[in-house]
Amino acid sequence: MDLNDTPELATYREEVQAWLAEHKTDAPPPHGEGDAYVAARRAWQKQLAEGRLAAVTWPAEYGGAGLGPLQQVIVNQEIGRAHVPGIFDIIGVGMLGPTLIAHGSEDQKQRHLGPMLTADEVWCQLFSEPAAGSDLAGVQTRAKQQEDGSWRLSGQKVWTTNAQHATFGLLLARTNPDVPKHKGLTMFVVPMDAEGVTIRPLRQISGEAHFNEVFLDDVRLEPGAEVGPVDGGWGVGLTTLMFERVTIGLGGEGFGWRADRFAHALLTDEACTRDPETRHRFGEIATEFLALRFTGYRMLTGLQRGQIPGAEGALAKVTTIKAAIAAGDLIVDVLGPGGLADDRFGELVSDLPGLKSAGGTEEILRNMVGERVLGLPPEPRLDKGIPFSELRAKELA
């Protein structure tokens, strides 16, 4: 039980601190709005990349630092302490880049990883669809190969972060509807400026638009746009989801959902800090956030020993959302209607019900953990082995 750095890590931390001390004056503020701010964030990611702090765990040959999760955490911690923002394209560098490294062709790696790392090209993830959320393998976006080996793409994607900034998207499409649904999918690289791509912002309860809808109307893709084998897209997608889970599982404190922050909020009403019920509710919420922090350290210890992350991340996500919802409710209960008027808390209350569905609904996560970790039997699956085209017909019946 030891949270101290080994000598090597301590040295690495000093190097990171030194780099940040030297460059932090170039950094934009941690939060901001508008195109100019996005541009500044992209420029700052480029600087971080040059300092080898943007993709700590990527292999050196692709511009990463070729280091482990502990070094990644040290970078995150020091970036936090320096009060500067981290990389802009978390989805690209954190999830899609690693997917390309694992499944992409050498050409794709050479062409895409560099600009992704420097944020010269931002990426977005085009997996979810209106009718394929929990059941991701149910994607209906259709890709048909042409005589010349090129592809024609039609369909609709949703919940796409950064689509408006993205040069490329990693897209899951159905290439063969006449086989069971997991078997007829292929992953593609899509240029977001291609003809037929339309992006529409999707507003949340709070009015903010953190996501987009992306419409694909007979979009042409060059031959070789596929990532991994044709009809082998499901396996490629699972890699992305695995990296997504690590990011979300360790991410809670990144949103600023921390016990100390909520304690600070309660102090705006000193009287409530003496109310037994408020203290009891806060104590229980804070306990969940503390648990998340130290679960994070346990996950890291596992990652560093080469264990593949999975269940803990799923449970951590459930706890994160549950605790953050309870925290928002408590603070607004204490402050009254005026508390809802405060954007910090009003938005917290507003955004969280939606986040329950992001990155896998709670039901899906609990099924996954129940079956993979506890070894409980799965639900009867009525869609097993049935060609996708038949399934659709059944649903529409």
Partner 1 sequence: MNFALSDEQEFLKEAARGALSRVKTVEAARDALDGGALPDLWPTASEAGWAGLLVSEEHGGAALQPLEAMLVFEELGRVLASVPLLGHLPASLLIDRGGDAAVAAALAEGTERAAFAAARPPSDIEDAWTVEPELGSTRAPAPVLADGTVTGAVHWVPDAEGADHLVVVLADGRAAHVRAADAAVEPTTVYDVTRPLAHVRFDGAPATLLETTPEDSAAAWYLAQALIGAEALGASDVALETSVAYARERHTFGRPIGSYQAVKHELVEILRRADNARSLMYYAGWAAKDRPDEFALAASAFRLSAGKALDHATRAQISVHGGIGATWEHDAPLYFRRAQLSRRLLGGDAGAADRVAGELLTQARAAA
Binding site for its own copies (CB under 8 A): 275-277, 280, 380, 382
Three-state DSSP string of 10-50: HHHHHHHHHHHHHHHHHCCCCCCCHHHHHHHHHHHHHHHHH
Query: Does 393 engage in binding with partner 1 (CB under 8 A)?
Result: no
Tokens 């102090």 identify what position?
267
H or E stretch at 207: none
Draw the binding track, 76-115, toward partner 1 (x: CB under 8 A; -: no contact): ----------------------------------------
In contact, 124 and 91? CB cutoff 8 Å: yes
CA-wise closest residue to 72 among 249, 303, 289? 303
Burial class (CB in 10 A: 0-12, 13-18, 19+), 259: buried
Query: Does 31 engage in binding with partner 1 (CB under 8 A)?
Result: no
Residue-wise over 318-328: b if at least 16 C-beta within 10 A, else e? Answer: bbbbebbbbbb
In contact, 327 and 348? CB cutoff 8 Å: yes
In contact, 360 and 134? CB cutoff 8 Å: yes
- For partner 1, the closer of residues 242 and 318 by Cβ is 318
- For its own copies, the closer of residues 238 and 376 by Cβ is 376
- For partner 1, the closer of residues 113 and 248 by Cβ is 248
CA-wise closest residue to 128 among 213, 200, 221, 226? 213
Query: Does 10 engage in binding with partner 1 (CB under 8 A)?
Result: no
Nearest distance from residue 369's CB to its own copies, in Å? 19
397 binds, among its own copies, partner 1, none (CB under 5 to 8 A by kind): none
25 binds, among its own copies, partner 1, none (CB under 5 to 8 A by kind): none
Nearest distance from residue 279's CB to its own copies, in Å? 9
Q: State which of residues 196, 301, 344, 393 lies at the interface with partner 1 (CB under 8 A).
A: 301
Nearest distance from residue 387's CB to partner 1, in Å? 12
Please give the residues from 315 up to 354 whose contact with partner 1 meets the rule CB under 8 A: 315, 318-319, 332-341, 346, 349-351, 353-354
Q: Please, what is the end-to-end C-alpha distance for the chain in angstroms?
A: 58
Return the structure tokens found at 196.
């037929």
Q: What is the rounded CA–CA span in Å between residue 355 and residue 343?
A: 17
Query: Does 377 engage in binding with partner 1 (CB under 8 A)?
Result: yes
Query: Does 366 engage in binding with partner 1 (CB under 8 A)?
Result: yes
Nearest distance from residue 116's CB to partner 1, in Å? 26
- For its own copies, the closer of residues 256 and 283 by Cβ is 283
Nearest distance from residue 276's CB to its own copies, in Å? 5
Q: What is the rounded CA–CA span in Å between residue 89 and residue 119?
A: 7
- For partner 1, the closer of residues 149 and 353 by Cβ is 353
- For its own copies, the closer of residues 7 and 380 by Cβ is 380
H or E stretch at 201: strand 197-202
Draw the binding track, 131-170, toward partner 1 (x: CB under 8 A; -: no contact): x-xxx--x-------------------xx-----------
For residue 61, indicate whether it is catalytic.
no
Which three-class secondary structure state does DSSP give residue 169? Answer: strand
In contact, 174 and 127? CB cutoff 8 Å: no
Nearest distance from residue 378's CB to partner 1, in Å? 6
Q: What is the rounded CA–CA span in Å between residue 251 and residue 257?
A: 9
Q: Interacting stretch for partner 1, rule CB under 8 A, among 83-91, 222-230, 243-251, 273-281? A: 273-281
Count CA atoms closer than 13 A to 96's CA, side-chain side.
31
Please give the residues from 51 up to 80 whose contact with partner 1 meets the rule CB under 8 A: 70, 73
Q: Of 78, 121, 244, 312, which one is the catalytic site residue? A: 244
Residues classed as catalytic: 244
